[in-house]
Amino acid sequence: MLDYQGQHRLPADGNVGAETADLLASLPEGPPLPRPAATGDRVVTSPDVKLVRFLQIGTRDCIRELLPVVLLPQASNVPLACGLLDASSNPYPPASLEGSAWKKFVDSEEFRGFSHIPPMQLTCHDGRVGAVDRQPGDTPFGVSQGWTFMTRHGKRIAEHAEWYGEDPRFHPEREDVQTLSDGSGVVISARQASRIAAVARSAQFDMIGYAATTRRSSGRRHTSCCGATGRRRSSTAAPPSRGVGSS
């Protein structure tokens, strides 16, 4: 995060404020979708999108990142804190999350949060969106704040992470659907933010004087009446904080 802020001429404080978040949200989407031809009535189905956050970090990488910012005498606790963080890492998600694999993954609790945007149907007339619907019985929008793994009495257990409650945009109850200005398609998006479980966050702060706060992610997909689909994008940031309760 410090490198990113320095490259973009932002205050190199390691914190994700509004300006940094705006820059992360403005990363290029790729080339524009082709404009649909006037072809009468057509039904187009948007893709099924699963945006998953997980943690993979090695103890050595963690120590290298933290030692320059943690003050003495707490700097001596950095190896222990990083070892615990490494122990809480998640395995990589499976290559496919289709069908029963998705339920198995959700039941595993091996993730730091997810948003699931199920397919939606665009009813188009002459290349313009007339309606966006989800068929009865389809999977509803799904979201989770994720889990934080900790070791207690030699056992690895999962604690619920916490929602970032100060900004309702990052705690959606459903996906956001916006029709493009020319009516040729829609942008379906979702974003969320959560932070690690309170117990783990307090332990971090006691050891090194910092606590990881908010992890943010966002994803969106363009779907056009001609059937073309634009790129999904995601971004995540986990800056340290000097306060356990700060967001």
Residue-range domain boundaries for the chain: 36-241
**Strongest mean pLDDT among 5-14, 17-26, 35-44, 185-194:** 185-194
Tokens in use for 144? 């989770």
Please tell me the distance from the alpha carbon of residue 53 to that of residue 235, in angstroms, as a whole number.
Answer: 10
Tokens in use for 233? 């994008």
DSSP string over the chain: -HHHHHHTT---SS---HHHHHHHHTS---SPPPPPP--SEEEEEPPPEEEEE-----HHHHHHHHTTTSPTTGGGGHHHHHHHHHHTPPPPPPS---THHHHHHHHHT-SSEEEEE---EEEEETTEEEEEE--TTSPPPEEE--EEEEEETTEEEEEE-EE-TT-GGGS-SS-EEEE-TTSSEEEEEEEEEEE--HHHHHHHHHHHS-EE-EEEEEEEEEEETTS-B----------EESSTT--
pLDDT tens digit string along 185-225?
Answer: 999 988 888 888 888 888 888 999 987 767 778 888 889 99
Q: 75 to each of 58, 80, 103, 203, 209, how far by Cα in Å?
A: 18, 10, 41, 15, 9
Residue with tokens 């090695």: 58
Chain-centroid distance of CA 207 in Å reads 27
pLDDT tens digit string along 136-149?
Answer: 667 788 889 999 99
**Strongest mean pLDDT among 57-71, 96-110, 156-170:** 96-110
Nearest Cα residue to 151 out of 195, 210, 87, 201: 87
Residue 244: its pLDDT value, please?
A: 40
Q: Burial, 124: exposed, middle or buried (Cβ in 10 Å; 0-12, 13-18, 19+)?
A: buried
Q: Tell me what percent of the residues of the chain surpass a pLDDT of 90.
A: 34
Chain-centroid distance of CA 127 in Å reads 32
Residues composing the chain: 247
* More confident of the two residues 239 and 53: 53
Please tell me the distance from the alpha carbon of residue 110 to that of residue 90, in angstroms, as a whole number.
Answer: 6
